Amino acid sequence: MSSLNIRITPPETPQPDSAQRPLEKALHWHSPYDSAVRQPTVSVFFTRPAYIRVCVYTCIDTSNEVGGVLIGQWCQDQESGQQFVVVQHALPARFTRQSSVYLTFTQDTLVDLHDQLEKRFPNEKIVGWYHTHPRMGIFLSHYDTFLHKNFFPEPWQVALVIEPYSSQGGFFIRQADGSFDPTRYFGFYEMDADSSRSIVRWQNLHQDEVGPEGDKSNE
């Protein structure tokens, strides 16, 4: 092969999967901060098994901050063009350093998480991360924001904060205009649920059933 034929291929840019937003049988959990002027880059669809796993993992140690990653798909709705992530699994982070007010992922944490992703969920992506704030509120600290920007830099990667004592939770998501507010969280969609059989217990969110015609809450 002559050197003229050698091309440097740019690193593959991830693309969203084309899919329909799974609004049927989804329950929309709203944050008190949700409003028409705040448009997240992606909406979050949480499967019930993943929600249960996150709740179990975050209740194991309530005296220290604990965390991990959220695994699933990044998708774009065929009709509306709206992007969303589907959280299918959660993996607790190992080799972390933590205290009651602090959590950090080490290099070993990241290597381990990427290894597990490749072995167990080769066709899925790390769509975000979660961590707890025992006896604190739902926000991202300066350090959390640093971690989010550096380790989860894609516009569609989200950060979930859970307060296990008062049972609260919320998602921090970059907005369509590129801004990011570490003090105001978004809600999410609980999949395969209706108001009579929801498993979400976070007290700071309120629900809104999504009918077969789609989500009325954004109208």
- Which residues form the interface with Zn ion (CB under 5 A)? 141, 144
Q: How far apart are CA 15 and CA 1, in angstroms?
A: 31
Q: Which is nearer to Zn ion, 144 or 163 (CB)?
A: 144
In the chain the first and final C-alpha atoms are separated, in Å, by: 58
CB of 182 to Zn ion, least distance (A): 10
Neighbours of 90 (CB within 10 A): 26
CB of 136 to Zn ion, least distance (A): 8
Q: Which is nearer to Zn ion, 97 or 216 (CB)?
A: 97
CB of 131 to Zn ion, least distance (A): 5
CB of 170 to Zn ion, least distance (A): 12
DSSP SS3 for 70: strand
Q: Are 141 and 84 in contact (CB under 8 A)?
A: no
Q: Which is nearer to Zn ion, 144 or 190 (CB)?
A: 144
- The dihedrals phi and psi of 207, each to the nearest 5 degrees, come to -100, 160
- Closest CB to Zn ion belongs to which residue? 144
CB of 133 to Zn ion, least distance (A): 5
Q: What would the two tokens of residue 170 be?
A: 């919320």
Instruction: Determine whether 171 is exposed, middle or buried from the number of CB atoms within 10 Å of its CB (0-12, 13-18, 19+).
Output: buried
- Please report where in the chains the tokens 């490749």 appear, as a residue: 118
Q: What would the two tokens of residue 53 be?
A: 């796993």
Q: Which is nearer to Zn ion, 141 or 198 (CB)?
A: 141
Of the candidates 86, 73, 82, 74, the residue with the CA atom closest to the CA atom of residue 45: 86
Q: Which is nearer to Zn ion, 116 or 145 (CB)?
A: 145
CB of 99 to Zn ion, least distance (A): 11
- Considering just the CA atoms, what is the radius of gyration of the chain in Å? 18
Q: Which is nearer to Zn ion, 9 or 150 (CB)?
A: 150
